[in-house]
Structure 1
Amino acid sequence: MLAAQLDLGTGVFGVNEVPIPDPQPGWVRVKVRACGVCLTDLHMLKGELRGIHRQDGLLTLGHEIAGEVDLLGEGVDTWRQGDRVAIALLHYKDGGEFTVGVDFDGGWAEYVVVPASTLVAIPDSLPFDVAAIVPDAVSTPWAAITETAAVRPGESVAVWGVGGVGTHAVQILRFVGAAPIIAVDPLPEARDRALRLGADFVIDPCAEDAVEKIKSLTGGTGVNVAFDFVGTSSIELQLLAASAPFGRTIWVGANSKPFTLDVPGILLFFRQQIRGHYASGPAAVPDLLRLLGLGRLDFSTSISGRFPLSEISTAIEHLEYKVDNPVRLVVVP
């Protein structure tokens, strides 16, 4: 089979012919029907990110996966061949979290083997490409909003970065009743999209008075919750400046650069909080797939492009350079 693999030691990336893997006891082989292309993958390819449990050797990337059950490992009796499934991002083992496509082989391949415990049934009405983005691009902002930030109806929020993850955050914030929702992005196309999907106001973060504009939209106090879906130090400082007293700032975007707070006493004086967020718990993906199956949420417009596995490098280039301003790109092996 074909698999897009990164040599974690040398940084060499390519599509290789490899044997079709067999599942170990308790695991399942899945025929991949769609797999997302994510900024996390770009961080991996650039050497900016490595898994906690995997530092060297060849790794098949891709962590937003949907497909059909192909072969059951010994002891697995809860699934049948042909079942339509998405794969949750995290596998819990020996007290640790192992991320598919980061700590063990992922879905940029024709087949993937994963623990049976990570499989989640997909509603028959949901296409594979939409289901594939739920385990990260949708479940991550869902958990950041409903768990880490614990956003309450009527709370004011601002979202920095309304691309492949922040776009879904805007939709979810609308769903949970946040108000107003302020989308912050330097790209006019992204701001226009955010308004169409539920943002009340949009701001260009490059404007000199960006923070003042955000405060003016919240009665001069700032937002109750500010989300960073980009992962840059300058934005993280802007989040704090635009937050209200007792405000929560939620860091979701991966940042490999240092962050310096020049006047940490202000953080204490205003009793603001900085909270980090990663992925989602085991209930998020089943909950979201159920909501999508019932039509309560719809992320079908997020699929901006589909690429065969042989053209994975083109998909990566489109994401990195924002060709046609994509939300989510998927590989269809």
Structure 2
Amino acid sequence: MAEKIPDSMLAGRLDVRTRDFAVTEVPVPAPGPGEVLVRVRAAGVCLSDVHLIEGELRPLFLRGDTVTLGHEVAGTVAALGPGVTGWADDQRVLLQAGEERNGVVHTRGVDYDGGWAQYAVARADTLVAVPDDLPLEQACIVPDAVSTPWAAITATAGVRPAQPVGVWGIGGLGAHGVQLLRLAGAAPIIAVDPVPAARERALQFGADLALDPADDDLVDQVRAATGGTGLAVAFDFAGVAAVREQAVRALGPGGALVLVGLTRQPLTIRDGTAFSYFGQKVLGHYGSMPEHVLELVQLVRHHRIDFARSVSDTLPLSEAATAVERLSNKEGNPIRLVLQP
């Protein structure tokens, strides 16, 4: 017998005007035509959520002033809206991090209510079936924490086997970036992070070399590790202006800096002549497409990759504010914190 759906639920709500965030009781949403009600079992906490609460990011398409946060969501099917077929009660699913509306992508938990809640409504075509051997607390982070670096590597940068690459920032995105670059055959993979534990993590995830950005000879070390050529691709997962300047200096001829980490700070290239002479590039990157999530689920299904080390801790939904504070302060240097309603 299907679990009875209550009238109200807890949800982590943000007022985007005042930046007040609180877990509060709200009505359980009803799925409309073409929609599915999902019983949330796990929801990731991302730096983008922190940036929303702090006001660095603002929704572009939100109707009203409040939104339930959470774009990394997994759970089970609770109810089908009118006209929906192909999904069964209690089926394990993850949700794509957004949906296209009139040719424009709206982000879950930013432009419309997300999954920091006991229940979430999703358009049926944004559900992805989860393999039985993938725990939901790992499945929830595939959209964004894993799919964003995967899309940056495969689509934006087009990394090829044996290409030398650098990864700046070994947090939630960068750690997966290292793991996925290893899967893609990049070599060598050079990780850069100021935190010793993060550098050690990078080596565990598959980096060939882990460096401290404070090292005066970092660029020389990169060139030595790459046989003097420099990097084909440098990924900035940190969103820090100084990181970008350092990464550009480590590029080889024709090399590309891929901007994945978000910041409002300006991008500065100190030696524009050399940048132009060597035909180097700056490529912006944001999020992923639905096919990247599907590719990753297939890779998990065939045991090419696993995320057992990706969840640093789980917390109840009621402690969402604590999770945000821990991530903002990098307490324990987490890869991902996951809320469990």
In structure 2, the residue matched to 1:11 is 19
Identity of aligned residues (%): 51
Q: What is the distance in 1 between the residues matched to 2:340 and 2:232?
A: 40
How big is the shift at 1:82?
1.0
1:304-315 equivalence runs, <5 A: 304-315=312-323
Where does residue 87 of structure 2 map in the other structure?
79
Matched, 1:39 2:47: yes
2:142 corresponding residue in structure 1:
134
Q: Say which of 217, 227, 232 aligns to 2:235.
A: 227
The 2-side partners of 1:11 and 1:28 are apart by 29
CA distance in 2, matches of 1:256, 1:73: 40
Tell whether the 8 Å contact from 1:252 to 1:276 is kept in structure 2 after alignment. yes
1:49 and 2:53 aligned: no
- Shift in Å, 1:56: 4.7
Instruction: Determine if the alignment matches structure 1 residue 89 to structure 2 residue 82.
Output: no
Whichever residue aligns with residue 96 of structure 2, its letter is A
Distance 2:14 2:331 in 1: 23
SS of residue paired to 1:41: helix
CA contact (8 A) 2:245 2:270 kept: no
Amino acid at match of 2:54: K
CA distance in 2, matches of 1:296, 1:35: 23
For residue 217 of structure 2, the aligned residue among 195, 209, 218 is: 209
Q: Does 1:197 align with 2:205?
A: yes
C-alpha separation between the residues in 1 aligned to 2:189 and 2:64? Answer: 42
The answer on 1:69 being equivalent to 2:77 is yes
Counterpart amino acid of residue 141 in structure 2: I
Are residues 55 and 49 of structure 1, via their aligned partners in 2, closer, same or farther at CA, if it must alter by over 3 Å?
farther
- Map of 1:112 onto structure 2: 120
Question: Could you say which residue in structure 2 is the equivalent of 1:168?
Answer: 176
Q: Which amino acid aligns with 1:154?
A: A
1:248-327 maps to which residues of 2 (within 5 A)? 248-327=256-335
Contact 1:9–1:56 (Cα < 8 Å) also in 2: no
Q: How far 1:287 moved relative to its partner?
A: 1.4
Task: Tell me the TM-score normalised to structure 2 length.
Answer: 0.95
1:154 match = 162
Alpha-carbon contact 1:25-1:76 (below 8 Å) kept: yes
Query: Is residue 165–residue 190 contact of structure 2 (8 Å, CA) maintained in 1?
Result: yes
Q: Is the 8 A contact 1:191 1:202 kept in 2?
A: yes
For the 8 Å contact 1:9–1:55, the answer to whether it is kept is no
Q: Which runs of 4+ in 1 moved over 6 A?
A: none
* d(CA) in 2 for partners of 1:53, 1:265: 40
Secondary structure of residue in 1 paired with 2:309: helix
Whole-angstrom distance in 2 between the partners of 1:143 and 1:113 = 26
What secondary structure is seen at the aligned counterpart in 2 of 1:76? coil
TM-score, with structure 1 as normaliser: 0.98
Structure 1 vs Structure 2 CA RMSD: 1.1
Partner of 2:152: 144
Deviates more, 1:15-24 or 1:279-288: 279-288
Letter in 1 for 2:183: F
Q: Structure 2 CA distance, aligned partners of 1:278 and 1:164?
A: 15
Unaligned runs of at least 5 residues, structure 2: 1-8
Q: CA deviation at 1:29?
A: 0.8
Which of 268-277 and 286-295 deviates more? 286-295
Return the alpha-carbon distance in structure 2 between the equivalents of residues 325 and 260 of structure 1. Answer: 28
1:124 pairs, out of 132, 151, 155, with: 132
